[in-house]
Chain A
Amino acid sequence: MAFKSVEELLTLSQTENNPLWQAVLIDDITDRQVAESESIEKMNYLWGKMQDASKNYDGNQRSNSGLVGGDGEKMKVAIKNNATISGSFISEVISEALKMGECNACMKCIVAAPTAGSCGVLPSVLITIAKANKISDEEIVKSLYVSAGFGQVIATRASISGAEGGCQAEIGSASAMASAALVFLKGGTNEMMANACAMALKSLLGLVCDPVAGLVEIPCTKRNVIGAINAISCADMALAGITSKIPCDEVIDAMASVGNLMASSLKETGEGGLAGTPTAKEIVKRLNIKKD
């Protein structure tokens, strides 16, 4: 049936007296007519695949075009050398987000969350917090239901496709989903999750989808980093009691409206923004990509 609003999701969780993650789980098993164990097993499988992708990262791998690869490793070296400004937790998240984005560009196996281009946001924060705070797989899986619930509302009211809504719909949505998941893992309330989701989406509103040469490489890989860091800062704000003055559903609607207003050259066509820069055009020429 899919949740049509965050308000509906919060109300259902409250009236049925179920935690939010469970409301999402119950909705899934009703929708797909499957056993609870089957749904949880599937979510657990996705979590396993996210961790596998991180473990199988190879700093020497390069994408088909040769444009992407090796940055996650560079970040790791910097962490090892204690050379980062942001400290170990944030630096780990940066490295994980880069690693996942690079795995995707290099045709490795990833979990679209919600898309392939934004596949680094959610796993980078979850893998890092699970390790740092010794969180069980069971709790992480619950947090994935939380993120999917908010993601579902975003997909229903707005979009999770760069071609439809720009990068705000991909990295923005991933960031909002991850932020809500983090609030859950830190024991925040449903309202805090909604606030985190709203603030994360608000902060990336207007982000355009301008892939160089039309490939899911530049700037997609590195945008996973801002999605992840934004998720953490918004989760921290929400947990501190800071609220979004614009309610979450209205923020999602605003994202849809910004997406509609966005020029098509900024929606995955590989024309405007970074894709239109002289260097990008040089890259297109070098890769010998034919243009209409």
Chain B
Amino acid sequence: MNIFDILGPVMVGPSSSHTAGAVRIGSVTRKLLAEEPQKAEIFLHGSFALTGEGHGTDKAIVAGLLGMLPDNMNIPKSFEIAKKAGMDFAINTIELRNAHPNSALIKVTGEKGRELEVVASSLGGGRIEICQIDGIDTNFGGDYNTLIVHNVDQPGHIAEITSMLSHKSVNIASMHLSRDIRGGYAVMVIECDQQIPDIALSWLTNLEGIIKVTYYNKDEEV
């Protein structure tokens, strides 16, 4: 752990896992949606469901979806701000199977109609993990620029994407592949040291066999 994991984060209380981590879950979901969220259904699991209200977990996730970061003083007022901004939201509880105790499932719809379903966990100290995107397992923490590609499970897609990254001089920090069944629905999660240019992302979106491209830009203002 770096010394600034010992001192810090600067955050709105009361809990680094149930508040600061929850804000990050919301803001990473917003970035993954890459649109202004218009509708959000938030389902709290485990300890999030039990003590979420007292820790402001519900307000924290909504704040994150609105683009706030863990030190934003408006986090306690996020419900009112969401209403003013016209973002529809509902908070419910859920029992997720095999999930970390501090987890949430979030279904969001953007202003242009893009839909996204995210399962994320708060691991403590404000660190998080995105565990599922649209029902497919992933595991990344939002500490790197991350490319998530859903594609048809057929030969060649990994090569297409990694050669594109190599052309754009983007170095891969980690890569995670999975699929539901052979020839079915596959996902790759690639954490990168550099930014992936927009033009490369839109090229990727139009490739045959690519179902969905989601990009998390670490440094982008939300």
What residues of chain B lie closer than 8 Å to A18, measured between beta carbons?
none
Given contacts A107-B13, A109-B12, A214-B51, contact A28 B19 (CB under 8 A): no
What residues of chain B lie closer than 8 Å to A119, measured between beta carbons?
13
- CB pair A116 B7 closer than 8 Å: no
How far does the alpha carbon of A290 sit from the alpha carbon of B2 in the complex, in Å? 37
B136 within 8 A of A: no
B110 within 8 A of A: no
What residues of chain B lie closer than 8 Å to A161, measured between beta carbons?
124-125
CB distance from A143 to the nearest CB of B (A): 11
- CB pair A49 B51 closer than 8 Å: no
What residues of chain B lie closer than 8 Å to A114, measured between beta carbons?
6-7
- CB pair B7 A289 closer than 8 Å: no
CB distance from A44 to the nearest CB of B (A): 12
Interface size for A (C-beta < 8 A) is: 55
Q: Interface segment, A146-154, A198-206, A225-233? A: A146-154
Q: Which B1-53 residues sit within 8 Å CB-CB of chain A?
A: 1-16, 18-20, 47, 49-51, 53
Given contacts A145-B3, A161-B124, A216-B14, contact A111 B8 (CB under 8 A): yes
Q: Interface segment, B69-77, B150-158, B199-207, B212-220? A: B69-77
What residues of chain B lie closer than 8 Å to A28, measured between beta carbons?
2-4
How far does the alpha carbon of A270 sit from the alpha carbon of B179 in the complex, in Å? 39
CB distance from A218 to the nearest CB of B (A): 11
- Could you mark each residue 122-146 of chain B with 1 if its beta carbon is under 8 Å from any beta carbon of chain A, else 0? 0011100000000000000000000
A245 within 8 A of B: no
Q: Interface segment, A77-85, A88-96, A98-106, A251-259? A: A98-106
- CB pair A144 B7 closer than 8 Å: yes
Indicate which residue in A122, A149, A216 contacts B3 across the interface (CB closer than 8 Å). A149
What residues of chain B lie closer than 8 Å to A216, measured between beta carbons?
13-15, 18, 55
What residues of chain A lie closer than 8 Å to B47, measured between beta carbons?
214
- CB pair B13 A110 closer than 8 Å: yes
- CB pair A215 B55 closer than 8 Å: yes
Name the residue on B nearest A100 (C-beta): B13
How many contacts A-B (CB < 8 Å)? 136
Interface size for B (C-beta < 8 A) is: 36
A213 within 8 A of B: yes
- CB pair B14 A116 closer than 8 Å: yes
- Could you mark each residue 90-130 of chain B with 1 if its beta carbon is under 8 Å from any beta carbon of chain A, else 0? 00010000000000000000000000000000001110000
B86 within 8 A of A: no
What residues of chain A lie closer than 8 Å to B53, measured between beta carbons?
64, 289
A16 within 8 A of B: no
How far does the alpha carbon of A46 sit from the alpha carbon of B7 in the complex, in Å? 8
A75 within 8 A of B: no
A260 within 8 A of B: no
How far does the alpha carbon of A289 sit from the alpha carbon of B55 in the complex, in Å? 12
What residues of chain A lie closer than 8 Å to B3, measured between beta carbons?
24, 27-28, 145, 148-149, 151-152
- CB pair B1 A105 closer than 8 Å: no
How far does the alpha carbon of A31 sit from the alpha carbon of B13 in the complex, in Å? 28
- CB pair B54 A115 closer than 8 Å: no
- CB pair A270 B7 closer than 8 Å: no
- CB pair B6 A109 closer than 8 Å: no
Name the residue on A nearest B71 (C-beta): A109
- CB pair A116 B54 closer than 8 Å: no
A193 within 8 A of B: no
How far does the alpha carbon of A224 sit from the alpha carbon of B15 in the complex, in Å? 15
- CB pair B51 A46 closer than 8 Å: no
How far does the alpha carbon of A113 sit from the alpha carbon of B49 in the complex, in Å? 26
**A to B CB contacts below 8 Å, 26 in the list:** A24-B3, A64-B54, A107-B19, A107-B76, A108-B73, A109-B11, A109-B12, A111-B10, A112-B10, A113-B7, A114-B6, A116-B15, A116-B20, A151-B7, A152-B1, A152-B3, A152-B6, A155-B1, A155-B6, A213-B54, A214-B50, A214-B51, A215-B55, A216-B13, A216-B55, A290-B50
**Residues of B bordering A, CB below 8 Å:** 1-16, 18-20, 47, 49-51, 53-56, 59, 71, 73, 75-76, 93, 124-126
